[in-house]
Amino acid sequence: MRRTFIALVALMAFASSCSDGPVTGVAPNETAATTPPHLTTPTTTQPDFGEPNLGPSTVTEWQFVGTVIDDGQPVICPGGVMASLPPQCEGVPVVGLDWLDIDWAETAGGVRWADLTLFGTYDGERFELTRPPEPPLRGEETPFTVPLPCDEPEGGWQIINAATADNDGAAVGYAQAQPEFMGNWTYRLPADASVYSVKVFTFTAKLEQHQQAIGDIYGGPICVSLVRRSLAELEAIRSRVKEAIVSPEANAAGIYLMNGQYGDTIDVFTGGIEFYVLAAEAGAQGWLDAQFGQGVVGLHSLLTRIGQP
């Protein structure tokens, strides 16, 4: 049974909205995409963008796939489950759940729980079932792959200077100090390659200058690639989104949190910002695009809208 927070690529492990964590295959001092948490009991007003917002449950049926815990009041756990026995979570109350329909439920210490697929409406405070519960419906997870944004050089990836081939930490330090810096990560090569990995660095400008400087420091294979926004630019936008996402305007546009919480991360591989909320109506992404630019902020809903694009 799943006991961890929903993950970033498939179901991501959620962390505090102000904390960051590593991605597999990234050195300790490298920047990487991180994964995040949770979810406001919102007020419902008319939106400034998109379709009229008649309230989160009036026009939308939502799907929840995950754990439901009942210690006197059943709740869905969209932000993940603490690995305890019995399990615990911060959740949204469920209305209409009958445990007699769920013969795979578990119990311990007076608490009942199960992994379920639920369909229902959400009114900002509770999730009310519109159909009987079903076993968890899990789609196939797409394997996460770290990108390599450079073509393989003629002759393949090679050690350029064996004397400095261990100076990757110093190269990362140089890169992260540059105002044009976006991110860096390690790309693992196949086992039959002549070298183990390629160090990737992304900048918004001065690629030739930075490639030369990094090559003077580090003698292993490097990939230096161009991106649109620096890490400093994205951090500044991220701060603005954090203020906007908890505003009445965001709620009116169809963005629903749980207890004022959300998950957020800068994705170093795509150069974008990702935000995770409890639920998002059809016009919510458009509202963010209008505020911050097309494709800058990605919005992810932990509840899936049913029968709507």
The CATH number that applies at residue 215 is 3.30.70
Span 17-73, pLDDT tens digits: 433 433 333 444 444 443 333 333 333 333 333 343 444 445 679 999 999 999 989
Q: Is 95 within a domain?
A: yes
In this predicted structure, the answer to whether residue 123 has a pLDDT above a threshold of 50 is yes
Task: Supply the pLDDT for residue 32.
Answer: 45
pTM of structure: 0.73
Task: Supply the pLDDT for residue 1.
Answer: 39
The answer to whether 128 and 96 have CB atoms below 8 angstroms apart is yes
Q: Is 101 within a domain?
A: yes
Distances (CA, A) of 131 to 72, 104, 112, 139, 271: 22, 18, 20, 20, 40
Q: Which of 104, 129, 154 is the last residue before a domain boundary?
A: 129
In this predicted structure, the answer to whether residue 232 has a pLDDT above a threshold of 70 is yes
- Look up the domain containing 167 and give its range: 162-226
The answer to whether 282 and 259 have CB atoms below 8 angstroms apart is no
Of 82, 79, 137, nearest in space to 111 by CA: 82
Q: Is 74 within a domain?
A: yes
Alpha-helix residue ranges (DSSP H) falling in the chain: 168-176, 207-217, 231-245, 248-252, 284-292
Q: Which of 76, 106, 129 is the last residue before a domain boundary?
A: 129
Q: Is 192 within a domain?
A: yes
Q: Is 209 within a domain?
A: yes
Q: Is 301 within a domain?
A: no
Q: Which of 226, 251, 271 is the last residue before a domain boundary?
A: 226
Q: Is 104 within a domain?
A: yes
Average pLDDT, the chain: 81
Q: Is 30 within a domain?
A: no
More confident residue, 60 or 297: 297
Rounded Cα distance, 280 and 222, in Å:
40
Using pLDDT thresholds of 50, 70 and 90, give the confidence band for residue 197.
very high
Task: Supply the pLDDT for residue 143.
Answer: 75
In this predicted structure, the answer to whether residue 280 has a pLDDT above a threshold of 50 is yes
Span 138-189, pLDDT tens digits: 666 677 789 999 999 998 999 999 999 999 999 999 999 999 999 999 999 9
Per the structure, the count of domains in the chain is: 2
Q: Which tokens hold the place of 52?
A: 């009229």
